[in-house]
Amino acid sequence: MVESNVGPVFYILAFLIIASAVMVVSLKNIFHCALALVMCLFSVAGIYILLNAEFLAAAQVLIYVGAVAVLMIFAIMLTTNLASRNIKQVTENALVSVFICALFCLGTIFLLWATPAKIWRYATESLPVDNTAIIGKYLMTEFVLPFEVVSLLLMAAMIGAIVLARKERS
């Protein structure tokens, strides 16, 4: 069952996720955006810990914070033109993005409202003791294709960062 002190911690982590996500898309310096993304990913790992999913929290920190964010920071640091102050950030489609965000929020609220009560009962039940084995079983059976697609995506991102770094030096 959920302890009573989880509520404030959840709200603090949720606030950190939202604030750092807003900073990711609104800061002018791309390096600061990457650091805000790291903070957002750490906060999501905190939510996993609150859900007693320690393995997912560790994977979140190792894979996303440790690999993807560091890869992005290295790509930013290797490309000299991205860090200059001459680059201007222009939001030409701000009205369209606000409309899409409002649609997404309304859709999420509708889905939460329309979800049957029996689904929420499953969300409050305790997790099995060995949830790591269950996650491993699902990753290697039902979700093997998305797992491999993500690994290919990460490899393509790394190759893209190397190509960008080499073009800047030439």
Domains and CATH numbers, the chain: 6-169 (1.20.120.1200)
pTM: predicted TM-score of the whole model, two decimal places: 0.61
pLDDT tier at 36, thresholds 50, 70, 90: very high
What is the per-residue pLDDT across 79-108, written as a single tens digit (0 to 9) for each?
A: 655 555 555 666 678 788 889 989 999 998
Look at residues 64, 62, 63, 60 and name the one whose alpha carbon lies nearest to residue 48.
60
Q: Rounded CA gap, 164 and 158, in Å?
A: 10
Look at residues 85, 73, 71, 80 and name the one whose alpha carbon lies nearest to residue 28.
85
Statement: residue 51 has pLDDT above 70: yes
Look at residues 107, 104, 13 and name the one whose alpha carbon lies nearest to residue 60.
13
Quick check: helix, strand or coil at residue 116?
coil
